[in-house]
Amino acid sequence: MNNKHKILLVSILGSIFSCNNTMKQESDSFTLNGKLPTNVNEKVYLLEYKNREYTVVDSVEAKNQTFTFKGKLQEPLVHAIRLGNSGKRANFFLENADISITLNDNWQISEAFGSEDTELFKKYDDLNATKRINLDSLLQKDNSSPVIAYFLARNAYLYDYESLILLRKKINQNLSRNTYIEELDGAIAQLEKIQPGQVAPEIVMEDLEGNTICLSDLRGKVILIDFWASWCPDCRKENPELVKLYNQYKDKNFTILGVSFDRKKDHWKTAIATDGLTWTHGFVEGAWKAEPIKTYAIRWLPTAMLIDENGIIVARNIDHKKLIPNLENLLK
């Protein structure tokens, strides 16, 4: 090989390696371009989802049905786009890359692309919306994506303690410091403390008259604790069934304790009156940051927990109807 050919080969190889290195470099910032279904006169808000709460991180004025956000992320996380101060949220996955999303008339994201995880989130979110997501199957294919970490944490309420432990073990160790996995690990650690057979932790609340009441005040009765909130659609749908259950068993040493995580007391009181909920009720300050949320590892509303007359946990489920066989056994 003559020198001319050697120089040419080195030049080609150098270009290839340079190209590969460029491709492997990760961006240290993001650009989010969005397209709206119609012209709007309100601000578009960008919210971060972390620690089970949405936090506004930026806002812009939309122009010609489009908007753009720019910034830097410490870690890739689920975000949401919201129109105005109280509009509907549309979730997507954001990381330091050039991301594009399109929203439809229902304020849902119809298209999302720009990174592998952004596109993966869209796919899984569509499955999740129709309750067709199978986390066990997905974890067998990919256990290292921060996207799967989010959906496992998001859907933890669907699994009992043992099943959740098995799913968690399938997550790649590289995700152990992921925000959603750390959140999940905290919930699992707390769930271990409130399994059937253990004493139900105390709950201190404010009743409808403003007095302090406690879970232990009802000791001696079989109690169904109903963790709920007036703004929760599923909670309100279940209330008529709870009324029937209460009326059927209230004279058999049974009662219900409603523990509300409402943000506004007047909304809580109005819902109780509107739905005809005549059992004991308690209001807990802090909403999703309230102490019972942590103590009882609540990840979904409504959640029901059955306690025997000695204050011992019998069973727990997001569907109170599945606890009725346990209740009937206790009341025999």
User: Tens of pLDDT along 296-310?
Assistant: 999 899 999 999 999
Task: Please tell me whether residues 73 and 160 are part of one structural domain.
Answer: no
Look at residue 47 and tell me if it is in a domain. Answer: yes
Look at residue 42 and tell me if it is in a domain. Answer: yes
Look at residue 82 and tell me if it is in a domain. Answer: yes
Task: Please tell me whether residues 182 and 233 are part of one structural domain.
Answer: no
Task: Please tell me whether residues 204 and 311 are part of one structural domain.
Answer: yes
pLDDT cut 90: percent of the chain above it: 85
Look at residue 224 and tell me if it is in a domain. Answer: yes
Residues 6+ positions from 273 with CB-CB distance below 8 Å: none
Work out the end-to-end distance of the chain between its first and last CA atoms, rounded to an integer number of angstroms. Answer: 95
Residue-level pLDDT at 288? 86
Residue-level pLDDT at 255? 98
| pLDDT at residue 280 greater than cutoff 60 | yes
Task: Please tell me whether residues 316 and 228 are part of one structural domain.
Answer: yes
Kindly report the backbone phi and psi dihedral angles of residue 319, in degrees, each rounded to the nearest multiple of 5, phi listed first: -120, 110
Task: Please tell me whether residues 233 and 293 are part of one structural domain.
Answer: yes
pLDDT, one tens digit per residue, over 228-273 is: 999 999 999 999 999 999 999 999 999 999 999 999 999 999 999 9
296: domain CATH number?
Answer: 3.40.30.10
Task: Please tell me whether residues 157 and 53 are part of one structural domain.
Answer: no
Q: Which of 150, 176, 193 is the last residue of a domain?
A: 193
Look at residue 7 and tell me if it is in a domain. Answer: no
Task: Please tell me whether residues 167 and 214 are part of one structural domain.
Answer: no
Domain of residue 219 covers 198-331
Q: Regarding predicted confidence, which is higher, 244 or 86?
A: 244
Owner of token pair 């129709």: 130
Look at residue 71 and tell me if it is in a domain. Answer: yes
Task: Please tell me whether residues 146 and 34 are part of one structural domain.
Answer: no
User: Can you tell me the distance from the alpha carbon of 13 to that of 153, in angstroms, rounded to the nearest whole number?
Assistant: 45
| pLDDT at residue 119 greater than cutoff 60 | yes
Task: Please tell me whether residues 109 and 170 are part of one structural domain.
Answer: no
Residue-level pLDDT at 1? 52
What's the mean pLDDT when you consider all of the chain?
A: 91
Look at residue 24 and tell me if it is in a domain. Answer: no
pLDDT, one tens digit per residue, over 138-164 is: 999 999 999 999 999 999 999 999 999
User: Can you tell me the distance from the alpha carbon of 291 to that of 203, in angstroms, rounded to the nearest whole number?
Assistant: 8
Task: Please tell me whether residues 184 and 237 are part of one structural domain.
Answer: no
Q: Regarding predicted confidence, which is higher, 9 or 60?
A: 60
Q: Regarding predicted confidence, which is higher, 3 or 110?
A: 110
Residues 6+ positions from 331 with CB-CB distance below 8 Å: 222, 249, 252, 253, 254
Task: Please tell me whether residues 270 and 303 are part of one structural domain.
Answer: yes
Mean pLDDT value across residues 73-84? 96
When divided into structural domains, the chain yields a total of 3
Task: Please tell me whether residues 154 and 92 are part of one structural domain.
Answer: no
Look at residue 8 and tell me if it is in a domain. Answer: no
73: domain CATH number?
Answer: 2.60.40
pLDDT band at 115 (very low <50, low <70, confident <90, very high): very high
Q: Which of 150, 171, 193 is the last residue of a domain?
A: 193
Residues 6+ positions from 223 with CB-CB distance below 8 Å: 215, 254, 255, 256, 257, 306, 307
| pLDDT at residue 4 greater than cutoff 50 | no
Q: Which of 72, 96, 122 is the last residue of a domain?
A: 122
